[in-house]
Structure 1
Amino acid sequence: MNTALRITVFAAALAATFGTAYGVGDTVGTITPQPKGGHATRHASDGGHDDMASMPGMPSMDHDMAPGGLEVSKDGYTLALKTSRVAAGRQTNLSFAVVRDGTGHNVTAYEREHGKELHLIVAARDLTVYRHLHPARAADGTWSTSVELPRAGGYRVIADFQPKGGEPLVLGADLAVSGHYTPAALPGHSTTAEVDGYEVTLTGTPVPGRAAPLTLTVSKDGRPVRDLQPYLGAYGHLVALRSGDLAYLHVHPTGEPGDGATTPGPRVSFTATAPSAGAYRLFFDFRHEGKVHTAAFTVHATGGADGH
């Protein structure tokens, strides 16, 4: 689906306590920051994806939407985490539901977008851990997914979905990961990332309030990768987390597999608009040889629509 995507917003504030146990439970030792590093294209006027991209042939979108993902409740729906605390370094079942406020009942019917009813992002507040998950839904409306989070600290859980017959929504809630917590600094500015034997190069920089091209080029063993595989209906997905306030942005690339014009690599192009100046951590998901890989970058959006 070649559509313009909405920017929703989420990022994180760093906790300030060094060397103490975070949350409740046994201290599991200091965990080294993990430098590791997709989502739905829809969101209209709910304040949930404010379009980060304007696709060719599509009308420009309003970028002055209220941020999404910062609210646990909106428009009569609440994101209810059934798991609010997990232990660092342990495989854990994370469960939650979307509750209709008027009735208290779990939502059990959703629209599908890119083959999924709901997309889930879990990110550490210091932006050192990122997960894009697709949980399973039980008949009673409870969602669950297995996750292992390597570092203790505060995390943000973001659910992106559209109730059947309703408007798209993005809701967020806090998750505590217990263990010995040492804050990590935001990784430095980077335009090249290595992940699982691949090298990914970023060309372009987000500009506040103005559409700007971003291109990700994938290579392996020094050779361009020209046979990327579709992942959720595209050759790549880009998520940006703004440092300092949990701002979450998600955009799909221009073009789509099978449109007669889009090639399966090595370049995947986006047109993105940052909501403000600041530091962003970009996470680029791509699929090759049957596996999904995530390359991460730190960039700084400066200036604005007026060029200043």
Structure 2
Amino acid sequence: MNNGLRITAYAAALAATFGVAYGVGNGVDPLVAAEAHPAPERDGHGTEQEGAVGAGGLGVSDGGYTLELQTPVVGAGVRTEVRFAVVEDGTGRKVTAYRREHGKELHFILASHDLGTYRHLHPVRAADGTWSVPVDLPAAGDYRAFADFTPTAEGARNLTLGADLAASGDYRPKALPAARATAMTDGYRVDLDGGLKPGRESELELTVSRNGKPVTDLQPYLGAYGHLVALRSGDLAYLHVHPAAGGPGPAVSFAATAPSGGTYRLFLDFRHGGKVHTAAFTVEAGTPAQPEEGRAQSPAPAGHAH
């Protein structure tokens, strides 16, 4: 008997999937000022929670806008064009004017609910406001799609909206990787110093090395020398931060505020040698990352070059 479960469009919302942390990005962008874009935390009904800090992506609607995911189901391992749009509540009109931030009008993130698979994608917008991007998800299960953007409409603020996406196929669950302060990706070693603090800003410093030597010539990616996304295990609350001013390595520092205690998965995108690499870490908010004594790498790579 096959121990895997068959994920269908009907059952996909109950599934979770694991894969290898993976980032996607192209192009070298000029450096821009570092900034963070927190959105108010919302409950399961999309209502803002009192006292919440820096969490987004929990609702499909916020601030008068809704994320319409037109391709809610794809096949695992099958390259599929995912289409979506941001629409104005009330009018139903698709948004066609966005403020460019970190070189892009909109940042599109896909992550599995188990936080094993992560992709930062760059969709293309048609004149009518419909966005599209090719996606090839490695395993079946339940994913979350995030759209991070700022409309140009007067009074509009930065928003991160989230919608569920399912990949059909055989579902085989795995455990979330253990918390470690070292990750290996594409031959690079990334060391994490610092941790997340619930409701308080804290510093995260990530240091990149290769073959035992510090990397001092990181290349700009999305307007900075590093790009960090944090997702909370369980509900996938989204925290998007950017590095403080600094040079091209080996260390890149970030200021981040965890909306609550719990387990988070950090995804660092950095560019070197003309390619974008992704390193992933599991972090317990309130607990500093623990170094691995006597070890040079984590058991499995955290990402792939692309």
The two structures have a TM-score, normalised by structure 1, of 0.79
Match 1:23 to one of 1, 4, 8 = 8
Equivalent residue number for residue 9 of structure 1: none
Equivalent residue number for residue 5 of structure 1: none
Amino acid at match of 2:40: G
Match 1:104 to one of 83, 92, 105 = 92
In structure 2, do the counterparts of structure 1 residues 210 and 176 end up closer, same or farther at CA, with 3 Å as the change threshold? same
CA contact (8 A) 1:282 1:297 kept: yes
Amino acid at match of 2:257: T
- More divergent stretch after superposition (178-187 vs 205-214): 205-214
In structure 2, do the counterparts of structure 1 residues 63 and 271 end up closer, same or farther at CA, with 3 Å as the change threshold? farther
Shift of 1:41: 3.7
Equivalent residue number for residue 213 of structure 1: 203
In structure 2, do the counterparts of structure 1 residues 137 and 285 end up closer, same or farther at CA, with 3 Å as the change threshold? same
Instruction: Tell whether 2:261 aligns with 1:271.
Output: no
The whole-number CA distance in structure 2 between the counterparts of 1:72 and 1:274 is: 21
Deviations 1:151-176 (A, max 9, x none): 10000001011111222221110001
Instruction: Tell whether 2:261 aligns with 1:285.
Output: no
In structure 2, do the counterparts of structure 1 residues 213 and 285 end up closer, same or farther at CA, with 3 Å as the change threshold? same
The whole-number CA distance in structure 1 between the counterparts of 2:204 and 2:76 is: 34
What residue ranges of structure 1 are gaps of 5+ in the alignment? 1-17, 26-30, 50-61, 256-261, 304-308
Equivalent residues in 2 for 1:121-136, closer than 5 Å: 121-136=109-124
CA contact (8 A) 1:48 1:170 kept: no
In structure 2, do the counterparts of structure 1 residues 146 and 189 end up closer, same or farther at CA, with 3 Å as the change threshold? same
Equivalent residue number for residue 47 of structure 2: none
Equivalent residues in 2 for 1:74-93, closer than 5 Å: 74-93=62-81
CA contact (8 A) 2:54 2:259 kept: no
Equivalent residue number for residue 235 of structure 1: 225
Equivalent residues in 2 for 1:1-308, closer than 5 Å: 19-24=4-9, 33-37=18-22, 41=35, 43=37, 47=40, 64-65=52-53, 67-165=55-153, 166-255=156-245, 262-302=246-286
The whole-number CA distance in structure 1 between the counterparts of 2:199 and 2:159 is: 22
The whole-number CA distance in structure 1 between the counterparts of 2:271 and 2:4 is: 38
**Where does structure 1 differ by over 6 angstroms across 4 or more consecutive aligned residues?**
none
Amino acid at match of 1:241: L
Shift of 1:35: 2.9
Percent identical pairs in the alignment equals 61
CA contact (8 A) 1:41 1:113 kept: no
In structure 2, do the counterparts of structure 1 residues 269 and 66 end up closer, same or farther at CA, with 3 Å as the change threshold? closer
Amino acid at match of 2:108: L
Shift of 1:42: 5.3
What residue ranges of structure 2 are gaps of 5+ in the alignment? 11-15, 26-33, 43-49, 288-306
